[in-house]
Amino acid sequence: MSHVGQISIPATYMRGGTSKGVFFTLSNLPEAARVPGEVRDKLLMRVIGSPDPYEKQIDGMGGATSSTSKAVILSKSESPDHDVDYLFGQVSIDKPFVDWSGNCGNLSAAVGPYAIANGLVDPTKIPQNGVAEVRIWQVNIGKTIVSQVPIVDGQVQETGDFELDGVTFPAAEIPVAFMDPADGEGAIFPTGNLVDDLDVPGVGVLKATLINAGIPTVFVNAQDIGYTGCELQEAINSDANALAMFETIRAHAAVRMGLIKHVDEAASRQHTPKVAFVAPPASYTASSGKAVSAENIDLVVRALSMGKLHHAMMGTAAVAIGAAAAIQGTLVNLAAGGEEREAVTFGHPSGSLRVGAKASLIDGRWQIDQAVMSRSARVLMEGCVRIPADSF
């Protein structure tokens, strides 16, 4: 019996914010995988180790969570106003597909450092010491991200004293600005309402804020679904009934937001929308054992990604939180006290996070100019990934 060998593909394994992913330069991929389609998806799934019915991704680079089952493809930008084109793929753990419907805000922080280190940014834009501004075109949603990457002796600075809840060790701070973060070309509020009545079978009618900012997200009140907003992962992820309820909410919200036509389509669109629940500020103990005081936060938020409660907060969902908090009358804004604001600090399972956003009402439609938050990023390993030659 004959067996095929393995092929090597240059890649970098990076942490960005509270996520990890495998980064590729487009030109380094096998030629057939340089264009969207089945070949590319199969290649990335084999790299990550999906689909895996055991949900462990032992035979790949994935870490068996939504935060670590990710792939990024970068190339020099075709736009004169941008430095790099950034394409993000959320790889399903147990099913054979890659979701290209949204961005990863956390890994966005790693795009600038990777682009600089791999020659995708004009060298004249990189100071010997200081900050390099990298303008990123986010291909999935057609939006601009501006990253401020610290440079020391002409190289990306990765170490530092910036601490990010959900990340064990400190690193260099990378401010990331998401410009005009309404997802795609649609309105921030696809239904035209700040709050909708969402009829969810088996749950009832829920008040919900459906927003397209950073990533399509549905927010509900924690109290309305029997929670406090201070829950940690084990309280949700070990409860099959709870996970089924959240998936039902997500599916019906997706239909109301115009993302799918029928709830049955939600199973093949796991990455978006996100579903989150909010509550007024409360004190609790984070997953690390750190005490989070109600006095230091404006509200608490818990969000699910790929069917499970996230260990911290997705970067794109943080953008949605900041945008919704900036608009009076949304459930997020009301949970934070109902005041007009341009920044919000929210509690999540690993601690807290501050995100800034400014909202404007223009010709009867809400607009967010930009949302800004600080993250960090670090190269974990670089070299080549190896996959069987017949994987794709």
Domains defined along the chain, listed by start: 6-173+377-388 (3.10.310.10), 196-372 (3.10.310.10)
Compute the distance between CA of residue 43 and CA of residue 386 in angstroms, rounded to an integer.
Answer: 10
Give Cα separations from 365 to 181, 208, 288, 344, 357 (angstroms). 14, 19, 41, 22, 16
Among this protein's residues, is 384 annotated catalytic? no
309 closest CA partner among 226, 371, 233, 211:
233
* pLDDT computed for residue 37 by the predictor: 97
* pLDDT computed for residue 361 by the predictor: 87
Query: Helices H, strands E: what count in the chain?
Result: 6, 21
Among this protein's residues, is 230 annotated catalytic? no
Give Cα separations from 68 to 13, 15, 255, 383 (angstroms). 10, 9, 27, 18
Question: What string of pLDDT tens digits covers the 392 residues of the chain?
Answer: 678 999 999 999 999 999 999 999 999 999 999 999 999 999 999 999 999 999 999 999 999 999 999 999 999 998 889 999 999 999 999 999 999 999 999 999 999 999 999 999 999 999 999 999 999 999 999 999 999 999 999 999 999 999 999 999 999 999 999 999 875 556 899 999 999 999 999 999 999 999 999 999 999 999 999 999 999 999 999 999 999 999 999 999 999 999 999 999 998 888 899 999 999 999 999 999 999 999 999 999 999 999 999 999 999 999 999 999 999 999 999 999 999 999 999 999 999 999 999 888 888 889 898 999 999 999 999 999 999 999 99
Cis amide prior to 190 (ω within 30 degrees): no
* Single-letter amino acid, residue 48: I
* pLDDT computed for residue 80 by the predictor: 87
Q: Is 326 exposed, middle or buried (0-12, 13-18, 19+ CB in 10 A)?
A: buried
Catalytic residue chosen out of the listed positions 45, 61, 104, 257: 104
* pLDDT computed for residue 53 by the predictor: 97
